[in-house]
Structure 1
Amino acid sequence: MTGQLTTGIATLCHEIVTRVSSDAGQQVRQISNRLHDPLRVAIAGRLKAGKSTLVNAMIGRRVAPTAAGECTRVVTRFRYGPADRIDVVTRDGERHSLPLDDDGMVPARLGVPATRIAYVDVALTSDRLRDLTVVDTPGLASTDTAGSARAEAAVGIDDDSADEVAAAEAVVYVFTQAVRADDVRALEAFHTASARLATSPINAIGVLGKVDTLVGGAGDPWPVAEPLARQQAGLLLRTVGDVVPVAGLLAETTTAGRLTGTDRDALAALAALPADDLRILLLSADLFRTRPAPLGPDQRERLLIRLDLYGIGYACALLAAEPRLGTGELVRRLCAASGLDRLTATVDQTFRWRSDAIKAGWALTRLERLASFDPQSRPVIRDAVEQALRDPAYHRLRLLDAAQRAATGAVTLPPDWEQELIRLATSDDPRWILRLPEADAGQLASAAVLAAGRWRAYAVDGAGPAQARLAHVAHRGFQLLAQEVRQCRT
């Protein structure tokens, strides 16, 4: 998965790999290979927040264990592979292969003490992983200090595991109910323990998980979930770019193919009950298990495990309205009701375009670090990097850095200016950047020139030193945007 910037850096690596020392050449190859990997997203959240359930939904297979065990205490990477395979990677670099268990999941016991494990590498044949690698992190605990030792203890990420997490281009934080003070502290601990992963609203989103538990029984949670997600987004304004509500269990069941034709028939039998009987049945899990109904105890428990009361109630409503609804269409509608489609779209829109710049910036940083530690290769590497940065296309890296500084509050800008800078850094759509959805190319070019002038004026009159540096970056960005629009026009 490469874009214009990463392609350029990969070409740079190819050109210099034979001109540097053998040790440096090996690292240059590793950097180049990493540029071709899919988008990597780390999933973080408190214990029992539903992280692993969300991972399974994103992968499209129930493979990540959701019950506490050895594998939930270590970093686990899920990536595409030609065959299903599990490798436990220890801190000394050894790999210990394991099969999936009888249920097709990562086994609860890994055969290696958790203290020796750097991460677990899981290759799967899931098509969803062809352009997405998911990194499941240990559940966060709260912490009262930003000290690295406490942070590592709370997060469960040591230096070896942090390398795997820090390679992610983006982060999804999973919350339940309301954001508490210790949730925020736990996130700060995650930042500390994985400091090499520069998280900000530019490359992080939140998920309000388990929304189906927000109201009692089979009640509709969405009138509560939507405003609660907006409230969380406001509380975490400097941490995540958005908060998306998701019914994780419903998403996992429908994407992992866990709802069968037999389940559909059982739901249809429930849907045929008198409305008052069904309503009472769905008031609580205990009533669902014990009240008279045309299902045996095993089938009832199976539906609860896969759908919970909200999913059962929603499925019954669909089947009551359309008794001939087939299993495939029922699954599709239940998936739509889970909110997963919105999360997938948000990940795609929020991260994929930016990942080209994020990866390129990561690679350049690694190359510059390599040059500082290898005097023999230093001139070759630095000359190549300097030559690459002369390309105007790489100004996007400076824009992304400026936007991150503004979005995290490291540099304070007026709210409207901050949002304009973030749009410029995170999109290639001039109509969206300039908020002119109906404008033609000429109008867009003129608006970009005016925006460049505004930022230039702000930089020289009214901005402090830190704000001025960001303003100069934005000024140049709008100049380049105007040039691009004119070129497209001709």
Structure 2
Amino acid sequence: MRPVVARIARLCDDIGPLLAADGQDTVAAVRAGLSEPLRLAVVGRVKAGKSTLVNALVKRRIAPTAVGECTRTVTWYRYGAPERAEVELRDGSRRDLPWRGGRLPDSLGVPAEQVARVVVYLQAAALRDQTVIDTPGLATLTSANEAATRAEVFGAGAAPDDAEQVSRYAAGQAEALLFVFREAERKDEIEFLTQFRAATGEIGASAVNAVGVLSQSDQFTGTDPFEVADGRAAQLAAARAADVSAVVAASGLLAQAARTGRLGEGEARLLAGIADVPESLLRLRRTRPLPGTDPAELDRLFGLLGVHGVHQGRHRSARGAHELVQWLESVSGVAKVEDLVRRSLLSRAHALKAMRALRVLTDAANRTGLDTGAALGLIEQARLDPALHPVRELRALRHLVAEAPVSPLRAELERVSADTTDQVRVGLPASATPDDVATAARRCAAAAQEQAAFAPMPAEAEAGRVLARSYQLIAQRARP
């Protein structure tokens, strides 16, 4: 167990007896979550392409994309065997769901108001390091559906005097956020990001625990819609620097087509057969059917790939489905999404869990403490423990990105706060000896202290101080 996680586990053991029964339930849930993968919530507006992107990430066409009961509930995708699905009811009970062809059913078999969440267990490699939480969406068809998203992500919606709901929501909150933008940000999206920043306390949604995806990049106009989308993603990232670390352009639709086994040689032959058809005639296919093609099959192909996927994919299908799938995988940008999640979120998963745990435990102490002062004192002791210094690194990074996003200290703090080796943290190769690491760490600490002393902004000064302490701890680990 990592030191940062072990310290939080010890805090849970110490603080539990100081809380009332519902607070102890919260502590137990926090402790159990320490050994689980990072909880990543996928959030965005209705029809933003959240479920399509989830399908691409888990490489299964399992998340429903058409409006139905399952799209109006929160769904957790966990790693597990045997593969199965179950519905968790608000009374705490669970029911198995029909599992036909590896797809969720259209109906859950119980009234929606009784459903807390759907849990799906898959043997998908992507779920070994993260639990993906697919949410109903913002500006959804009913206020209850949107409330489910807000409650699952940051506990909004529970009545202040409903201790059971507060406890359950606190235990189920996401630790990181993948925000799916469709085109341009809307008012409800801005409000949600602001609420997430407030709900996650001293970290906030920032370079620490939130990233963005422009998910329907294939639908932008222009000769190369992805080039246009890349520019728009950069604009969104700059505009929302306080809320997300970066925004990448991708197409969930093309990624889903590439990764879920829905494209075979038949589809490749159909695409290759229309390679020479002018785009103008393809657009008129419903009023002027193309000779030698099945209109229904062509419509299905457009449904799978979209306009851009068909228009460009037909020129990459002559050699069969393999060539087509490779092109779709490359152009979809899904690898950029995975890389962003890995670099920005999974690389600091343990510290994110610790930060969230401190917030939830503090709330529990204030709400249910039998000896609130003693409980808060234990939390403060934990915060000062060197084992939890990674939490201070994340806090410093959050402030630095918000106040001085182009600071030269940003890349250094991102490197030091990532879950990597001490050799990498001090800029040395893997072959570096402990003496080499200690010497380099002391040199870096001195440089960071100097930067802190002459920093033009408070956030940079704090980043310098935190970095100096980080390097001092690295030197101590190298030569105890």
**TM-score bin (small chain):** 0.7 to 0.9
Counterpart among 143, 149, 172 of residue 178 in structure 2: 172
Question: What is the RMSD computed on CA atoms of the aligned residues?
Answer: 4.2
1:253 aligned partner: 257
Tell which deviates more after alignment, 161-170 or 200-209.
Answer: 161-170
Q: In 2, Cα distance between the equivalents of 1:49 and 1:172?
A: 12
Shift of 1:230: 1.5
**TM-superposition CA deviations, 1:382-434 (whole Å, max 9, x none):** 669947964x443112111222233344xx68833455434433364678767
Q: Aligned partners of 1:376 and 1:189: how far apart in 2?
A: 30
User: CA, structure 1 residues 214+355, in 2 after alignment: closer, same or farther (shift >3 Å)?
Assistant: same
Q: Which residue of 2 aligns with 1:478?
A: 471
Worse overlay, 353-362 or 39-48? 353-362
Letter in 2 for 1:308: G
Pairwise mapping of residues 256-275 of structure 1 onto structure 2 (< 5 A)? Answer: 256-271=260-275, 275=276
Indicate the larger mover: 472-481 or 299-308.
Answer: 472-481
Amino acid at match of 1:421: L
From 319, 325, 340, the equivalent of 1:346 is 340
Q: Decide which of 189, 192, 216 is 1:210's aligned counterpart.
A: 216
**Residues of 2 paired with 1:418 and 1:90: CA distance?**
44
The CA deviation string for residues 214-263 of structure 1, in whole angstroms up to 9 with x for no partner, is: 126xx532221222222221111111111111111111122121112322
Give how far 1:334 is off: 1.7
| Letter paired with 1:62 | R
Aligned to 2:393: 399
Match of 1:163 in 2: 169
- 1:187 aligns with 193
Name the counterpart of 1:316: 314
SS in 2 for 1:87: strand
The answer to whether structure 1 residue 83 and structure 2 residue 82 are counterparts is yes
> Residue by residue, what CA displacement relative to the aligned partner does 1:261-308 show, whole Å, maximum 9, x if unpaired?
32223223334xxx3x244444x3x43774424321221122111112
Q: Is 1:306 aligned to residue 304 of structure 2?
A: yes
- Aligned-pair distance for 1:336? 1.9
Shift of 1:469: 5.2
| Post-superposition CA distance 1:154-179 (Å, at most 9, x none) | 96543359827963221111112233
Q: Is it true that 1:43 corresponds to 2:42 in the alignment?
A: yes
Judge conservation of contact 1:151–1:190 (CA < 8 Å) in 2: no
Match of 1:359 in 2: 353
Q: Do residues 121 (structure 1) and 119 (structure 2) align?
A: yes
Read off the aligned partner of 1:68 and give its amino acid letter.
V
2:235 aligns to what?
231
Please report how far the alpha carbon of residue 211 of structure 1 lies from its aligned counterpart in structure 2 after TM superposition.
Answer: 0.9
Partners of 1:352 and 1:251 lie apart in 2 by 21
Q: For 1:305 and 1:289, how far apart are their aligned partners in 2? A: 17
SS at the partner of 1:287?
coil
Q: Which whole-Å CA distance do the structure 2 matches of 1:338 and 1:387 have between them?
A: 44
CA 430–189 in structure 1, closer or farther in 2 if over 3 Å, else same: same
How far off is 1:458 after superposition? Answer: 5.6
Amino acid at match of 1:363: A
How far off is 1:34 after superposition? 1.3
- Which residue of structure 2 lines up, in the alignment, with residue 416 of structure 1? 408
Partner of 2:58: 59
TM-score of the pair, normalised by structure 2: 0.79
Asked if 1 retains the 8 angstrom alpha-carbon contact of 2:72 and 2:145, the reply is: no
Conserved 8 A contact 1:407-1:422: no
Say whether the 8 Å CA contact 2:285–2:295 is kept in structure 1: no
Structure 1 residues 114 and 196, CA gap change in structure 2 (3 angstroms): farther
User: Which stretches in structure 1 are left out of the alignment for 5+ residues?
Assistant: 143-148
Provide closer, same or farther for how the CA distance between residues 254 and 76 of structure 1 changes in structure 2, counting only shifts above 3 A.
same
Partner secondary structure for residue 42 of structure 2: strand
Match for residue 240 of structure 1?
244
Q: What is the percentage of aligned positions where both structures have the same residue?
A: 34
Higher mean C-alpha deviation, range 305-314 or range 248-257? 305-314
User: What is the rounded CA distance, in whole Å, between the counterparts of 2:264 and 2:148 in structure 1?
Assistant: 40
Q: Is the 8 A contact 1:207 1:243 kept in 2?
A: yes
After superposition, where does 1:457-468 map in structure 2 within 5 Å? 457=450, 459=452
CA–CA separation in structure 2 for the residues paired with 1:244 and 1:297: 35
Distance 1:75 1:150, change over 3 A: closer
Q: Distance in 2 between matches of 1:83 and 1:438?
A: 39
Give 1:62 deviation, angstroms.
1.6
